[in-house]
């Protein structure tokens, strides 16, 4: 049996103890930068745009698949935008999709809105969302393109902020940090806490520090600049098209900017299981794209693992009770998260502080299950009724063709 002598053991414990301080310091640094970023940047009106024909036209692509009780509200929020020049390019993957009926109804209700419906996607594209959006993208007539997924509720303030921030010549893309509208219920509270606390801890900081960190839920870009890096359809070979296309723009030296208004995901069918499955899907994507960051640093930076580790480290070096340190860490994280959430929300939340606490603890513990589920089968991703196999590096194949094949 291999024997580790006492001195080597001391070195290992010393290293682990110091590493806890390093990870803790980095985590706190990112959290502080994010707080600062949200405080200084979010909901600050910087646009001085005059609503006239000199504003660039915007092609809004909305991939749709199926319906949700709030889809009509989301679609109408696009039809009613007060913006001089825009077209709505609504896309459905096949001619049986239930969203078609709703789209036809809205086209009739708003005959003055320039709206086109594309059915059937573009064959040969693996990513189902890119497959669905491809005809819209190819037919977009304006220089600015806004991809706004079906969960997203739009507003005039949002389109103006996106357009305004996209104007400088070196800016290629403006993205919204994912967030949610207000909905009652435990699952909706858990979701809001994920986006307003956990995701916000790093999303804003990485962007402020010049890292490429964006999601494909709602983003506006200059079509010419995306076409310079092969165009949207090229990224349909990846399931995480957002990560790869934003990385390509970033590597080319173009600027990506966060909108001052977080994305308003507005869906009715929220459940804890749906939330957990989505977290597993996203984590599996990240594990394939950045295994060290998402497989090691991300879980170590979570509140409970980091609290246990830093508690042990304080005990190891200074003999301070790990229970005190752990409790201090958890309480300070709860307060920091609550402050952050209220800044991202920019107003009152629907739940009480006690409800926040219950959902916060539940979500932090659920993260452990999400991590285990994701890491056990990191390559298999279920999305939109199909199963995909993501190879290391991100290239993807469809393994379950039971639902109508895309290619």
Ligand X SMILES: O=c1ccn([C@@H]2O[C@H](COP(=O)(O)OP(=O)(O)O[C@H]3OC[C@@H](O)[C@H](O)[C@H]3O)[C@@H](O)[C@H]2O)c(=O)[nH]1
Annotated catalytic sites, by residue? Answer: 242
Closest-CA residue to 154 (of 45, 79, 223, 87):
79
Sheet with strand 396-400: strands edge to edge: 380-383, 386-390, 396-400
Q: How many residues bind ligand L2Y2AEV6 (CB under 6 A)?
A: 22
Whole-angstrom CA distances from 16 to 12, 223, 316, 323 are 6, 48, 10, 19
Whole-angstrom CA distances from 167 to 70, 145, 222 are 32, 13, 9
Does 206 help bind ligand L2Y2AEV6 (rule: CB under 6 A)? yes
Among 71, 208, 240, 359, binds ligand L2Y2AEV6 (CB under 6 A): 240
Is there a contact between 77 and 157 (Cβ–Cβ < 8 Å)? no
Determine the length of the chain: 407
Q: Tell me the sheet residues that pair with 144.
A: 58, 222
| Residues in 277-296 that interact with ligand L2Y2AEV6 by CB under 6 A | 282, 285-286, 293-294
As measured in angstroms, the least distance from the Cβ of 241 to ligand L2Y2AEV6 is 8
Does 364 help bind ligand L2Y2AEV6 (rule: CB under 6 A)? no
**Contact range with ligand X by CB under 6 A, out of 179-187, 211-219, 292-300, 319-327:** 211-219
Interacting residues of 10 by C-beta distance below 8 A, sequence separation 6+: none
Three-state secondary-structure class, residue 385: coil
C-beta of 65 vs 330, nearer to ligand X = 65
Give me the 275-314 binding string for ligand X, x by CB under 6 A, dash otherwise: ---x------------------------------------
As measured in angstroms, the least distance from the Cβ of 18 to ligand X is 37
Does 97 help bind ligand X (rule: CB under 6 A)? no
User: Residue 384 binds which entry of ligand L2Y2AEV6, ligand X, none, with Cβ cut-offs from 5 to 8 Å by kind?
Assistant: ligand X
Give me the 3-22 binding string for ligand X, x by CB under 6 A, dash otherwise: --------------------
Among 180, 189, 215, 313, binds ligand L2Y2AEV6 (CB under 6 A): 215
Closest-CA residue to 168 (of 225, 115, 233, 212):
225
Does 247 help bind ligand X (rule: CB under 6 A)? no
Name the residue with the smallest CB distance to ligand X.
384
As to burial, measured by CB atoms within 10 angstroms (0-12 exposed, 13-18 middle, 19+ buried), residue 82 is exposed
Does 43 help bind ligand X (rule: CB under 6 A)? no
Among 129, 213, 303, 374, binds ligand L2Y2AEV6 (CB under 6 A): 213
Does 367 help bind ligand L2Y2AEV6 (rule: CB under 6 A)? no
**Contact range with ligand X by CB under 6 A, out of 214-222, 294-302, 314-322, 388-396:** 214-222
The three-state (H, E, C) secondary structure of 212-225, written as one string: CCCCCCEEEEEHHH
C-beta of 122 vs 151, nearer to ligand X = 151
Does 216 help bind ligand L2Y2AEV6 (rule: CB under 6 A)? yes
Does 151 help bind ligand X (rule: CB under 6 A)? yes
Whole-angstrom CA distances from 220 to 61, 346, 399 are 10, 23, 32
Does 242 help bind ligand L2Y2AEV6 (rule: CB under 6 A)? yes
Ramachandran angles phi, psi of 265, nearest 5°:
-75, 125
Q: Tell me the sheet residues that pair with 22.
A: none
User: Residue 63 binds which entry of ligand L2Y2AEV6, ligand X, none, with Cβ cut-offs from 5 to 8 Å by kind?
Assistant: ligand X
**Contact range with ligand X by CB under 6 A, out of 44-52, 62-70, 307-315, 332-340:** 62-70
Does 150 help bind ligand X (rule: CB under 6 A)? yes
Closest-CA residue to 164 (of 83, 281, 230):
83
Closest-CA residue to 62 (of 74, 50, 70):
74
The three-state (H, E, C) secondary structure of 76-143, written as one string: HHHHCCCCCCEEEEEEECCCCCCHHHHHHHHHHHCCCCCEEEEECCCCCCCCHHHHHHHHHHHHCCCC
C-beta of 177 vs 334, nearer to ligand L2Y2AEV6 = 177
Helix axes 353-376, 303-318, angle to 10 degrees: 90
Is there a contact between 253 and 214 (Cβ–Cβ < 8 Å)? no
- Point out which residues bind ligand X (CB under 6 A): 63-65, 93, 128-129, 132, 149-151, 215-217, 239-242, 278, 383-384
- Point out which residues bind ligand L2Y2AEV6 (CB under 6 A): 23, 26-27, 199, 202-203, 206, 211, 213, 215-216, 240, 242-243, 282, 285-286, 293-294, 297-298, 301
């Amino acid at each position: 049996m291999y024997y580790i002598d006492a001195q080597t053991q001391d070195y290992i414990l010393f290293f682990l103890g110091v590493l806890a301080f390093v990870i803790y310091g980095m985590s706190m640094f990112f959290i502080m930068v994010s707080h600062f970023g949200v405080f200084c940047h979010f909901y600050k009106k910087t646009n001085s745009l005059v609503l006239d024909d000199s504003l660039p036209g915007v092609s809004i692509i909305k991939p749709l698949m199926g319906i949700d009780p709030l889809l009509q509200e989301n679609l109408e929020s696009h039809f009613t935008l007060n913006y001089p020049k825009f077209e709505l390019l609504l896309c459905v993957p096949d001619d049986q999709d239930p969203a078609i009926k709703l789209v036809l109804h809205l086209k009739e209700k708003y005959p003055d809105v320039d709206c086109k419906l594309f059915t059937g996607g573009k064959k040969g594209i693996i990513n189902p969302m890119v497959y669905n959006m491809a005809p819209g993208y190819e037919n977009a007539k304006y220089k600015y393109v806004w991809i706004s997924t079906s969960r997203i509720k739009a507003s005039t303030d949002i389109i103006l902020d996106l357009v305004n921030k996209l104007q400088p010549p070196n800016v290629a893309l403006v993205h919204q940090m994912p967030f949610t509208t207000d909905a009652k219920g435990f699952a909706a509270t858990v979701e809001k806490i994920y986006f307003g606390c956990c995701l916000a801890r790093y999303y804003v900081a990485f962007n402020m520090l010049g890292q490429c960190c964006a999601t494909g839920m709602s983003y506006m870009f200059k079509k010419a600049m995306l076409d310079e890096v092969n165009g949207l359809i090229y990224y349909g070979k990846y399931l995480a098209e957002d990560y790869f296309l934003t990385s390509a723009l970033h590597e080319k030296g173009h600027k990506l900017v966060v909108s001052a208004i977080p994305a308003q995901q507005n869906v009715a069918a929220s459940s804890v299981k749906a939330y957990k499955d989505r977290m597993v899907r996203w984590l599996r994507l990240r594990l394939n794209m950045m295994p060290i960051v998402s497989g090691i640093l991300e879980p170590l930076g979570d509140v409970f693992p980091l609290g246990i580790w830093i508690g042990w480290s304080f005990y190891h070096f200074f003999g301070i009770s790990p229970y005190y340190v752990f409790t201090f860490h958890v309480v300070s994280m709860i307060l920091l998260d609550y402050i952050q959430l209220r800044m991202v929300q920019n107003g009152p939340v629907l739940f009480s502080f006690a409800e926040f606490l219950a959902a916060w603890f539940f979500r932090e513990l659920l993260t452990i299950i999400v991590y285990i589920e994701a890491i056990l089968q990191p390559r298999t991703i279920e999305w939109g009724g199909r199963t995909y196999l993501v190879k290391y590096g991100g290239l993807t194949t469809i393994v379950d063709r039971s639902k109508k094949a895309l290619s």
